[in-house]
């Protein structure tokens, strides 16, 4: 049903009717009939418009990363022979989630006319962003009535977390004989012959190359193999609602998710198999896999996770230990380093290689989260046990993640792909 936009002509018509009934005469009745006729025509006009406006919404893509722009196009059509004096389309979007360059656009439509409107929507936060609802407002040429239509498209935009490219971060290695060269910690790979060299005292006789030794009579030659290693990296994300905090600078869960995406991207770029484990209101376990497809799967899951769990990360790790892939490296991300979590990580250090990233709660909300002295003490204790520990907060540059490592007795060995 149309709504009144400007009621002054209605008031004039009512006043003209009262004056005509009291005073009589041609002019008062003429004014009343003119005003009443205009109001009726405007109302019928607006009713007509509401029945003959059609719309169609398209987007250039439905998956993007936080900070990227998507183009939303709307086609508004007048299917009737009566012109539309003005029509306005509004796309209200919460500013925390996304921003629109021109939230309200409009114009006029002639008989059977069409207008194309375009909105540039910038995603500010990861998640599933509903496309709409859109509001269409149209009115008659006298500006007396308006008709409003609000519709949801039923479509969603999947916004991935921003992927920061981390450089020069050594990932822990967990199993030998793979695709990465590691001259210090790898195992000699019999499938990758590096060279044949003269035998030296102390070399294993099992690797003597007898054919070359026969050609060089009186000298023994040895097969030298590349030393290689590989791993599966499982990113473990803490989603306990009691561990995460929000404040003026942001939310710890957002930095944790962004860090998880960055580590998964690094693992895939280095040829590792990457997976994800997170337990909030729902359990998320994506087994490690290689390649861009595996990274997209991780980003898809990270787009929807929230800090809505009710179990501490230490308890989650103990419960999930039977499900962890064998001979894997675990990249654990949490804002709350507790004694229980530290003890759990030390127990896992035997069968797994570990990397721990701790999001500093005070960088988001000063005074919130675990006491800083206790957290730093636990971080140094784990670093002393040769577990790489990184402390970082909101505003820190993830590309320089190695700069935030807590120093232990010796630096982590670097692996050259």
DSSP string, 219-233: --EEEEEEEEEE-EE
| pLDDT confidence of residue 178 | 45
Query: Using CB atoms within 10 A of its CB, is residue 250 exposed (0-12), middle (13-18) or buried (19+)?
Result: middle
Positions in the chain short of pLDDT 50: 176-187, 189-193, 226-229, 410-417
Distance (Å, whole) CA 165 – CA 167: 6
Query: Is 84 in contact with 138 (CB distance < 8 Å)?
Result: yes
Distances (CA, A) of 237 to 283, 342, 358: 11, 15, 11
Query: Residue 346: its pLDDT value, please?
Result: 95
Instruction: Give the C-alpha separation, 242 to 375, whole Å.
Output: 16
Task: Single out the residue of 25, 3, 273, 31 nearest to residue 143, CA to CA.
Answer: 3
**Structure confidence at residue 223 (pLDDT):** 78
């Amino acid at each position: 049903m149309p709504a009144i936009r400007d009621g002054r002509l209605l008031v004039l018509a009512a006043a003209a009717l009262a004056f005509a009934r009291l005073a009589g005469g041609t002019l008062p009745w003429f004014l009343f009939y003119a005003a009443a006729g205009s109001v009726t025509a405007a109302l019928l006009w607006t009713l007509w418009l509401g029945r003959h406006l059609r719309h169609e919404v398209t987007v250039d893509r439905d998956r993007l990363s936080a900070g990227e722009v998507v183009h939303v196009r709307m086609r508004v059509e007048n299917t009737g022979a009566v012109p539309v004096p003005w029509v306005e389309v509004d796309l209200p979007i919460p500013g925390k989630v996304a921003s629109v360059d021109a939230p309200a656009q409009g114009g006029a439509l002639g008989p059977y006319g069409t207008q194309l409107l375009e909105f540039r929507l910038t995603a500010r936060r990861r998640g599933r962003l509903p496309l709409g609802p859109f509001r269409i407002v149209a009115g008659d040429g006298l500006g007396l009535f308006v008709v409003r239509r609000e519709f949801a498209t039923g479509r969603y935009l999947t916004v991935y977390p921003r992927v920061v490219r981390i450089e020069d971060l050594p990932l822990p290695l967990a199993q030998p004989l793979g695709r990465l060269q590691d001259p210090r910690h790898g195992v000699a790979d019999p499938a990758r012959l590096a060279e044949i060299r003269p035998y030296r005292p102390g070399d294993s006789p099992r690797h003597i190359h007898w054919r070359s030794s026969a050609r060089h009579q009186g000298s023994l030659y040895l097969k030298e193999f590349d030393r290689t290693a590989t791993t599966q990296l499982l990113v473990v994300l803490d989603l306990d609602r009691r561990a995460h905090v929000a404040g003026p600078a942001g939310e710890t869960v957002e930095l944790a998710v962004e860090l998880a995406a960055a580590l998964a991207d690094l693992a895939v770029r280095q040829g590792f198999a990457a997976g994800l484990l997170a337990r909030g209101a729902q359990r998320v376990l994506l087994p490690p896999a290689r390649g861009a497809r595996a990274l997209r799967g991780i980003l898809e899951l990270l787009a929807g996770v929230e800090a809505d769990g009710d179990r501490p990360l230490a308890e989650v790790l103990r419960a999930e230990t039977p499900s962890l892939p064998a001979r894997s490296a675990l990249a654990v991300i949490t804002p709350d380093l507790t004694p229980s979590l530290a003890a759990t990580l030390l127990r896992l250090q035997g069968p797994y290689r570990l990397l721990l990233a701790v999001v500093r709660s005070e960088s988001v909300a000063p005074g919130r989260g675990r006491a800083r002295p206790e957290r730093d003490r636990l971080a140094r204790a784990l670093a002393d046990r040769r577990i790489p520990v990184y402390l970082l907060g909101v505003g820190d540059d993830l590309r320089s993640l190695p700069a935030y490592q807590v120093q232990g007795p010796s630096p982590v060995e670097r692996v050259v792909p």
